[in-house]
């Protein structure tokens, strides 16, 4: 039986396993636990423009502008159109995307840089958790999966012909182990936690890029690190993430003087693209907030964020404000 070593346990890793034939033995290595990864933490939803009936044109244009015109429009459009089949598959499998109570239609949400509501969520702000739970359940048909938690991969193993045939790792007892296989797939996640303020799940930097570079694999676009404008917290401490959907539901960015400063930076105001919004908050040189007083049913709509707010900034929350700071957001690793 073919053995594939898979480094990582997030959405990319589970999607890879789902696409494999059942007669493949997958050895999944994750440096934390199976549920400690950025995929489980992801609050924001999935863009699904299939029913806009313009072949993804509006969605692609919004994405292109959100990327500061640095993307390839052909690639963007092709990825958007290719996503329709994958997302529809999840819908057909019965995944519980949020729906409106009265009509049972999808509860389309609006987020930053989008001109129309096209975002699907699960459980309000628990989309990543919902997706991971769904994929984990779907993988029960794969009987040949061995998972090692607390396994830190540190290097690759080569055979006599120079072909990669395995990995070296430290196991949960901090002992060096050699795991051999026919193929090695790296789905290790990102490296945003090289910055002090970040939304990363783990406390240690992903080693995938380091290992790849060490073995001559070229790394591209490493400078394209995304910064999220609304981490919950202050310039010295952050406690989690505040989804863009909060602003999509009516949250307004304000500085300590109560000024709606984003109107001076972009026509979309508080729903401007992330890079512009992050820069604007940074340039305030003071604590900034999201005014959530116009967000209906905040506790029910964003249960995870509500819990974090109650734990770390209950006084601000009681006044209808959430303190925010800029931080490096999830970066996607793997190759």
- Do the domain assignments include residue 104? yes
Average pLDDT, whole number, for the chain? Answer: 92
User: Is the pLDDT reported for residue 282 higher than 80?
Assistant: yes
Phi, psi (degrees; rounded to nearest 5) at 247:
-75, -30
Q: What is the pLDDT of residue 333?
A: 53
Residue 115 maps to a domain: yes
Give the C-alpha distances (Å, rounded to integers) separating 146 from 4, 24, 28, 211. 10, 11, 6, 22
- Is residue 151 included in any domain, yes or no? no
Would residue 158 count as lying in a domain? Answer: no
Out of 65, 98, 120, a domain closes at 120
Q: Is 74 noted as a catalytic residue in this protein?
A: no
Is residue 173 scored above 60 in pLDDT? yes
Count structural domains, the chain.
2
Last residue of a domain, one of 96, 120, 144: 120
Instruction: Answer yes or no: is pLDDT of 21 > 90.
Output: no
CATH of residue 280's domain is: 3.90.700.10
DSSP letters, 288-331, are EEEE-TTSTTHHHH-HHHHHHHHHH-HHHHHTTEEEEEEEE---
Strands 321-328, 288-291: pairing is antiparallel
Residue 32: CB atoms within 10 Å: 16
Boundary (domain end) residue, out of 120, 138, 166: 120
In a domain, 64, yes or no: yes
Catalytic residue among 3, 247, 274, 301: 274
List, for residues 287-312, the tens digit of each pLDDT value.
999 999 999 999 999 999 999 999 99
- Please indicate, yes or no, whether the overall pTM of this predicted structure exceeds 0.85: yes
Whether 86 is covered by a domain: the verdict is yes
Range of the domain at 250: 227-328
Containing H/E element for 38?
helix 38-41
167 inside domain: no
Taking only Cα atoms into account, the Rg of the chain, rounded to an integer number of angstroms, comes to: 21
pLDDT band for position 64 (cuts 50, 70, 90): very high
C-alpha to C-alpha distance for 178 and 165, rounded to whole angstroms: 10
Asked if the structure places residue 60 within a domain, the reply is yes
Q: What is the DSSP string of 245-261?
A: HHHHTT-EEEETT---G
Beta strand 145-148 pairing with 119-120: unpaired
Question: Which structure tokens are listed for 134?
Answer: 């769904």
Of 38-47, 198-207, 232-241, 266-275, least confident by mean pLDDT is 198-207
Convert 78-109 to b/e letters by CB count within 10 Å (16 or more is b). Answer: eebeebeeebeebeeeebebbeeeeeeebbbb
């Amino acid at each position: 039986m073919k053995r594939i070593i898979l480094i990582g346990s997030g959405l990319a890793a589970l999607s890879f396993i789902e696409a494999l034939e059942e007669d493949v033995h997958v050895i999944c290595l994750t440096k934390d636990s199976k549920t400690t990864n950025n995929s489980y933490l992801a609050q924001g939803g999935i863009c699904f423009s299939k029913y806009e009936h313009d072949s993804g044109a509006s969605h692609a244009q919004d994405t292109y502008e959100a990327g500061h015109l640095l993307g390839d429009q052909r690639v963007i459009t092709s990825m958007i159109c290719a996503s329709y089949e994958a997302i529809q598959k999840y819908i057909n499998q019965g995944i519980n995307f949020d729906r409106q109570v009265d009509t049972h239609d999808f509860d389309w949400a609006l987020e930053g840089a989008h001109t129309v509501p096209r975002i699907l969520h699960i459980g309000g702000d628990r989309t990543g958790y919902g997706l991971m739970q769904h994929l984990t359940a779907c993988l029960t048909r794969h009987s040949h999966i061995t998972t090692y938690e607390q396994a830190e991969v540190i290097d690759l193993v080569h055979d006599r012909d120079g072909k990669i045939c395995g990995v070296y790792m430290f196991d949960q007892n901090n002992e060096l182990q050699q795991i051999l296989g026919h193929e090695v797939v790296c789905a290790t996640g990102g490296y945003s936690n090289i910055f002090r303020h970040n939304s990363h799940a783990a406390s240690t930097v992903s080693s995938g890029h380091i290992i790849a570079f060490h073995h001559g694999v070229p790394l591209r676009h490493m400078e394209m690190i995304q910064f999220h404008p609304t981490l919950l917290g202050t310039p010295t401490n952050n406690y989690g993430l505040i989804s863009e959907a909060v602003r999509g539901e009516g949250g307004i960015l304000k500085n300590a003087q109560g000024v709606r400063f984003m109107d001076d930076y972009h026509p979309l105001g508080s729903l401007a693209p992330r890079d512009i919004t992050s820069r604007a908050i940074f340039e305030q040189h003071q604590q900034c907030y999201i005014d959530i007083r116009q967000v209906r049913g905040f506790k029910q709509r964003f249960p995870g964020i509500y819990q974090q707010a109650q734990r770390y900034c209950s006084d601000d929350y009681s006044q209808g404000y959430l303190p925010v700071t800029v931080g490096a957001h999830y970066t996607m690793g793997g190759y």
